[in-house]
Amino acid sequence: MPPSVIRLEGVSKSFWPGPVKAVTDVSLEVRSGEILTLLGPSGCGKTTTLRLIAGFEAPDQGAIFVCGDRVAGRRAWVPPERRGVGMVFQDYALFPHLTVGENVMFGLDRFPRKDRRERAQEVLRTLDLKPLFDRYPHELSGGQQQRVALARAIAPEPVVVLMDEPFSNLDAHLRDQVRDEVVRILRKADVTCILVSHDQRDALAVSDRVAVMNQGRVEQVGTPREIYKHPESVFVATFVGRTNLLQGVVQNEDGCVLTDFGSFCRVNRLGMPNGTPVMISVRPDGFTACREAEGVLHGTIRSATYTGSQVEAEVAIPSADGGMRKLVVHLPPSRAYHIGEEISFRLLPEFASVVRNACDTLGFSSPVAATVAAEKGGGAHSSQRSSHPSSASV
């Protein structure tokens, strides 16, 4: 495993007056060459976490290590300029009165004076910016300013580059292109990077791992796939894309959960004991349309939005209590769907996951007690076009 570059151990930070708890008990590790994104809504503590790592803030509790050396916590303190950390600010913060070359040379005081120009040129060449060496920041496009800020950050060969919302100031049409370019540069230079973003698309697209933050805490750390497919909390499930939250009960030790919509197996990754009322998150991708005879769920399309790569449909499905439940389902875009059309599905367990503390978060006391009792009593649903296939396993 690559060595750890940045490690946070139980880091907390409050601001006064208040106190405003900006960061609470955050533990994180970033390994050499890794791109990790801190993802979360505005105000959840992302920038404060970056500033703590950079040394612009000191933690109230916990410790921060850079390449194994304690730089903050337990009376240790290494100032920002001696941490070997490069920072790209949200507004780029280029010096307007300095040229591109001078901006990049600015942080190179560790290099002998005679080598600074060459180092700046070398980095600007890597980023395809060398022709802009003598230009001023106001003569550059947003995307170019972004890359100059990145060049300035990586020129001193930092052990890690911290980038705060690097893509948020770019026009929508430039955004994906600049994002892919920045990631290509980071990968090519083998730079370890912590990015901050409130945009789940960016986070999933560029990161090796994502740390999802909510109200100052890290709720889950995982690869983009893990975070998307197997969210462990209601917050992660709902913040990172759309999802369906279904009430259920853990059915057996194999990790199956019985819901109104059938039994989902291999989804109890949190190891909840048999009989526990739980919620599962099922992504819209967790259903696959099929012929009626093969389907375990049958419903009626209530809305259908074509996005190019898929159709996002809301499907009304009769529930065990005689009401209707709406599911959000991704359908293949190869054909058109009509409002009122009947459709059948099968379930894909890989997009389903038990979420932690959902009953507390969503205010359910005992989510499926009634459903389970009805199942056992045997008479709560009709077998014809049933949406409630207690025996259907996936």
Figure out which of the listed residues 37, 47, 197, 263 binds Mg ion, where binding follows CB under 5 A.
Answer: 47
When asked if residue 197 is in the footprint of ligand ADP (CB under 6 A), the reply is no
Figure out which of the listed residues 8, 26, 46, 146 binds ligand ADP, where binding follows CB under 6 A.
Answer: 46
- Provide the 10 A C-beta neighbour count for residue 350: 14
Residues 6+ apart with CB under 8 A from 374: 320, 321, 380, 381
Shortest separation between residue 17's beta carbon and ligand ADP, angstroms = 8
Burial code (b: 16+ CB inside 10 Å, e: under 16) for 129-151 equals: beebbeebbeebeebbbbbbbbb
> What does the alpha-carbon distance between residue 378 and residue 22 come to, in Å, rounded to a whole number?
51
When asked if residue 44 is in the footprint of ligand ADP (CB under 6 A), the reply is yes
Shortest separation between residue 30's beta carbon and Mg ion, angstroms = 18
Residues 6+ apart with CB under 8 A from 142: 169, 170, 171, 174
Shortest separation between residue 53's beta carbon and ligand ADP, angstroms = 12
Figure out which of the listed residues 12, 24, 47, 220 binds ligand ADP, where binding follows CB under 6 A.
Answer: 47
Shortest separation between residue 46's beta carbon and Mg ion, angstroms = 5
> What does the alpha-carbon distance between residue 191 and residue 123 come to, in Å, rounded to a whole number?
13
- The interaxial angle of helices 142-154 and 172-188, nearest 10 deg, is 20
Figure out which of the listed residues 19, 20, 131, 360 binds ligand ADP, where binding follows CB under 6 A.
Answer: 20
Nearer to ligand ADP, 46 or 330 (CB): 46
> Which region, judged by CB under 6 A, interacts with ligand ADP, from 28-36, 38-46, 150-158, 227-235?
38-46
- The interaxial angle of helices 142-154 and 113-126, nearest 10 deg, is 130
- How many chain residues interact with ligand ADP (CB under 6 A)? 11
Figure out which of the listed residues 45, 59, 166, 299 binds ligand ADP, where binding follows CB under 6 A.
Answer: 45
- Strands 342-347 and 287-290, how do they pair? antiparallel
Nearer to Mg ion, 47 or 353 (CB): 47
> Which region, judged by CB under 6 A, interacts with ligand ADP, from 40-48, 140-148, 175-183, 342-350?
40-48
**Helix (H/G/I), strand (E/B), else coil: 262:** strand
Nearer to Mg ion, 47 or 263 (CB): 47
When asked if residue 365 is in the footprint of ligand ADP (CB under 6 A), the reply is no
DSSP one-letter code for 87 = E
The closest residue (CB) to Mg ion is 47
> What does the alpha-carbon distance between residue 245 and residue 2 come to, in Å, rounded to a whole number?
37
Shortest separation between residue 164's beta carbon and ligand ADP, angstroms = 7
When asked if residue 71 is in the footprint of ligand ADP (CB under 6 A), the reply is no
When asked if residue 19 is in the footprint of ligand ADP (CB under 6 A), the reply is no
CA 226 to chain centre: 10
> Which region, judged by CB under 6 A, interacts with ligand ADP, from 43-51, 169-177, 262-270, 345-353?
43-51
When asked if residue 15 is in the footprint of ligand ADP (CB under 6 A), the reply is yes
DSSP one-letter code for 294 = G
> What does the alpha-carbon distance between residue 49 and residue 60 come to, in Å, rounded to a whole number?
12
Beta-bridge mates of residue 330: 312
CA 375 to chain centre: 37
> What does the alpha-carbon distance between residue 327 and residue 320 come to, in Å, rounded to a whole number?
15
Positive or negative CA dihedral for 217, 219, 222, 228?
negative
When asked if residue 320 is in the footprint of ligand ADP (CB under 6 A), the reply is no
Q: Which does 268 bind (CB under 5 to 8 A by kind): Mg ion, ligand ADP, none?
A: none
Shortest separation between residue 85's beta carbon and Mg ion, angstroms = 17
When asked if residue 306 is in the footprint of ligand ADP (CB under 6 A), the reply is no
> What does the alpha-carbon distance between residue 287 and residue 328 come to, in Å, rounded to a whole number?
9
> Which region, judged by CB under 6 A, interacts with ligand ADP, from 41-49, 93-101, 141-149, 286-294?
41-49
When asked if residue 28 is in the footprint of ligand ADP (CB under 6 A), the reply is no
Please give the residue ranges that form the binding site for ligand ADP (CB under 6 A).
15, 20, 22, 40, 42-48
Please give the residue ranges that form the binding site for Mg ion (CB under 5 A).
47
